[in-house]
Each structure stands twice: as C-alpha cells, then as structure tokens.
A = this chain, B = another copy of it.
C-alpha cells in the first residue's frame, strides 16, 4: 500500500461515508497517522440518491472527492481499495492492494441492501445505495420508455411503465414521490405518443403504514401526499419473488413490471475476520459498546450503520441513518484524541434531532422530538437541512440552482442514458416490426 512507516500510532478507517468522514475531520493534524480506505474515491450524500435516479440532480452534485476533504491534513493517507479481511491477531487488514498494519482500526463500512436471502429478487431487482446504482436506475427508467414507445403490445408496454418499489421507508417514499413528479415533469412531455396515464407507481409496504419509523401523524400525511401524486400504496403486503417480469406476493396480488426497486431493508456491509460473538447475525451489524469499541477487541472500533450499539432506549442499536453515524464519527474522533492523551473516553449518547422525508413539490413531513409538522413549511425545512448538509460550496450552489430551476420550470434535465443498463432477465421484449 506504500504507506510510510511512522512512530505515531496508525489509525486505519475503512469507509468514507458519513461516519468515516466525520471521524477523519476530527483526527486531522493530531499526533497520529491516519489511513482512510474506501472502494470509491468520493463520499456519497446518500439522502439525495433518489434525485439522481429520477433526473433531478447530477451525480457530481451529491458526491465529494475524499482526497479533497483530507488535502491539507498532515500524515493522512487515502487509498482506493476494498478490504477483504481483518487479521485481528496480527493487527492488520488485508486489502486488494496489499496488507496494512494498524494500531487502531475503525470499521465504518456502512450498510448494503438486504434481500433477506432471496437470490432471485437480488438478481432481478434494482438497488439504490450507491451513485452507480442510482445512475443505473435512471438509465433503466428512460430505457423502459424508449422501449415502450416502439411496442404495440399493450401488456408489454404496461409492464415497462409499471414501477414497483418494495419498502415504504424514507427511501421508498421519496423515490415514489420523485417518480410521480418525473411522470408529470418529464415523461408526459417527452413521450406524447405513449399513454402516460398507464404509468403506475406501486409502493409496497409489509406492515400497516408508510414511514413506520416516523410518527403516525407523519405517516398519515405522507400517505395523503403520495395518493395526491398518484402513487398506489399497498399495505400489509409482502413480496415473495420477482423473476424479472412478475412479482408475486404473500396474497393473490401480483404485478407485471420491468422495474422493481428494492428498498425494503438494509444490512451491515460486514468485513470478514471478526469473531462470531462480535456480530449480530440477523442484520450483519457489529456489536459495539458505548465507546463504539467492538465487543471482544480493544483496538477495533465500529461506527455508523455497521455498528450496533444496543441500549435500553435502542435495544437493536441506533437507526441506520446519517445522524447517528456522524455523531458516532465525531465522538470517536474526540475519544481517540483522549486516548492519546491518556484521558478517559466519553460514552456515546445519540442526540435524536428528528427525521424527515420529502414526497414532492411543497410536500414533506418532519418529526422533531416533540413536534410533528408537514406541508410547505416542512418542505422548506427539508430543503434547507439537506442543502446545508452537503459538503462543499459548489455542490450547495449547483444543487440549489437545480432545485430552483426544477421548481420554476417543472422540469428535470438529467435524462442522459450514459450507463445503458439492460436487465438480463427481461429479454422477452421485441419490437413488433423486427
């Protein structure tokens, strides 16, 4: 890996997500050598991935080069690689580009889509956790319409225009709303020779309300907003399979669709090499104590989505979201500095600032700890918070400009098919004229 030898303790951080970047910032210019590893060379602002997928924003606007974050930090290294295994005995990580010894290791690998073991769904459904995946979804949506326009068979056309989102958490709800707006803002205008009324957006939820992690008031408002935008909500329905064409469920309901986007669950993006007792097998997270120290180790920490810090208030760990990740990253940074100065570490306490979701133009829901509200003001709050959470002045400016443009002109200009994406399993389509 070509990292210079050092007499300072070496901290290796795996992952440049919200947790890893927050930690990196706190560790700058300390008596430490820090090595940050990620399989992408950029940090992704995941809460806005759905806008990249639906053409509202360009990928570059919601990503930030990791090397730029650490540009001015001393004895600080970035390496583009993924980690294959941790050799805890010899205190080293084994990566695609070589091994590296650590004095302290911080696992901040985040989460990935959870298909609950269904390989066929995994093969055929789309996932939306990374920028390349979002660009794939965007290309697929537009390719579906380009395909539908040349077909005469109504059933085929309808399957291409039927979008099924499985899981009505924030990602599913926001994507459903954005798709509904894309229908009006782009698809209706761009495809005048298609009957766009046939385009369906089906949002499937396993239990009895959307945004079930939020307040009942917000769930109710979100459902109203979604219905207003024409999204069809299916509650208490569980998807059992998807062969690339037909979705089967636990009831008699089935769907014919070329595009299933799976937002029904996440699991830890685990790294091999830890003892079984350190893991929560069900969700593949890593068990940590209140200092984010991994159970069973004294030089390995885990933060963010991958870390499960079980407490009375959070018996299954904190929610897998940006807020706890950033807070854990920051505190761990301070705690590592404390460790260096032989001071005692501070236990983590999650400061839940609330949660929010946007459904569409002027439509959002916000849950503060003691107050829930929705509508236009909630939407402004949502925009403000997301704009200011983006890293970098230029990203903020470009996103703001895009939102302003999209708002005024009811438009989305990001409609480039730059990653032609063909679903392998959906090859039954042929043009009538070939």
Measured CA separation A294–B98 after assembly (Å): 60
A397 located at the interface, meaning its Cβ lies under 8 Å from any Cβ of chain B in the complex = yes
Tell me which of B2, B4, B63, B394 contacts A433 (CB under 8 A).
B2
A253 located at the interface, meaning its Cβ lies under 8 Å from any Cβ of chain B in the complex = no
Measured CA separation A42–B413 after assembly (Å): 11
A189 located at the interface, meaning its Cβ lies under 8 Å from any Cβ of chain B in the complex = yes
Q: A146's closest neighbor in chain B, by CB?
A: B80
Q: Convert A139-167 into 0s and 1s, putting 1 for each residue whose CB lies closer than 8 angstroms to a CB of B.
A: 00011001001111000000000000000
Q: A406's closest neighbor in chain B, by CB?
A: B394
Q: Which residues of chain B are near A80, meaning CB under 8 Å? A: 143, 146, 417
A97/B193 contact (C-beta < 8 A), A397-B401, A415-B65 known: no
Q: Which residues of chain B are near A132, meaning CB under 8 Å? A: 418
A68 located at the interface, meaning its Cβ lies under 8 Å from any Cβ of chain B in the complex = yes
Q: Convert A399-419 into 0s and 1s, putting 1 for each residue whose CB lies closer than 8 angstroms to a CB of B.
A: 001100100000001111111
Which interface residue of A42, A394, A405 has the most chain B CB atoms within 10 A? A394
Q: Which residues of chain B are near A392, meaning CB under 8 Å? A: 413
Please determine whether A1 and B41 come into contact, CB atoms closer than 8 angstroms. Answer: no
A416/B60 contact (C-beta < 8 A), A2-B151, A190-B65, A394-B402 known: yes
Q: Which residues of chain B are near A414, meaning CB under 8 Å? A: 60
Tell me which of B42, B60, B151, B405 contacts A394 (CB under 8 A).
B405
Measured CA separation A131–B416 after assembly (Å): 10
A29 located at the interface, meaning its Cβ lies under 8 Å from any Cβ of chain B in the complex = no
Q: A397's closest neighbor in chain B, by CB?
A: B401
Please determine whether B59 and A413 come into contact, CB atoms closer than 8 angstroms. Answer: no
Please determine whether A189 and B71 come into contact, CB atoms closer than 8 angstroms. Answer: yes
Q: A100's closest neighbor in chain B, by CB?
A: B433
Please determine whether B190 and A433 come into contact, CB atoms closer than 8 angstroms. Answer: no
Please determine whether B1 and A433 come into contact, CB atoms closer than 8 angstroms. Answer: yes
Measured CA separation A189–B67 after assembly (Å): 9
Which interface residue of A63, A71, A416, A417 has the most chain B CB atoms within 10 A? A416
A322 located at the interface, meaning its Cβ lies under 8 Å from any Cβ of chain B in the complex = no
Which interface residue of A41, A59, A414 has the most chain B CB atoms within 10 A? A41
Tell me which of B71, B97, B99, B416 contacts A65 (CB under 8 A).
B416
Which range holds the interface residue count of chain A?
Answer: 35 or more
Please determine whether B401 and A190 come into contact, CB atoms closer than 8 angstroms. Answer: no
Q: Which residues of chain B are near A135, meaning CB under 8 Å? A: 418
A77 located at the interface, meaning its Cβ lies under 8 Å from any Cβ of chain B in the complex = yes
A415/B68 contact (C-beta < 8 A), A1-B433, A432-B2 known: yes
A97/B434 contact (C-beta < 8 A), A2-B152, A65-B413 known: yes
Q: Which residues of chain B are near A151, meaning CB under 8 Å? A: 2
A40 located at the interface, meaning its Cβ lies under 8 Å from any Cβ of chain B in the complex = yes
Shortest CB distance A195–B (Å): 13
Tell me which of B64, B405, B415, B433 contacts A67 (CB under 8 A).
B415
Name A45-69 residues within 8 Å CB distance of B.
58-61, 63-65, 67-68
A235 located at the interface, meaning its Cβ lies under 8 Å from any Cβ of chain B in the complex = no
A398 located at the interface, meaning its Cβ lies under 8 Å from any Cβ of chain B in the complex = yes
A79 located at the interface, meaning its Cβ lies under 8 Å from any Cβ of chain B in the complex = yes
Measured CA separation A77–B146 after assembly (Å): 11
Q: Which residues of chain B are near A419, meaning CB under 8 Å? A: 419
A149/B190 contact (C-beta < 8 A), A60-B414, A416-B60, A431-B1 known: no
Task: List 26 interface pairs A-B (beta carbons < 8 Å), by A numbering.
Answer: A1-B150, A2-B193, A41-B146, A41-B415, A41-B416, A42-B417, A58-B60, A60-B413, A60-B414, A63-B416, A64-B413, A65-B415, A65-B416, A67-B190, A67-B191, A67-B415, A68-B413, A68-B415, A71-B189, A71-B192, A79-B146, A79-B149, A97-B433, A98-B434, A392-B413, A394-B402
Q: Which 4 A-B pairs have the closest CB atoms?
A: A98-B433, A67-B190, A58-B60, A65-B415
Other A-B pairs beyond A1-B433, A2-B151, A2-B433, 16, CB < 8 Å: A2-B149, A2-B431, A2-B432, A40-B416, A42-B416, A59-B418, A60-B416, A67-B190, A67-B191, A67-B415, A68-B413, A97-B150, A131-B416, A393-B405, A394-B405, A394-B413
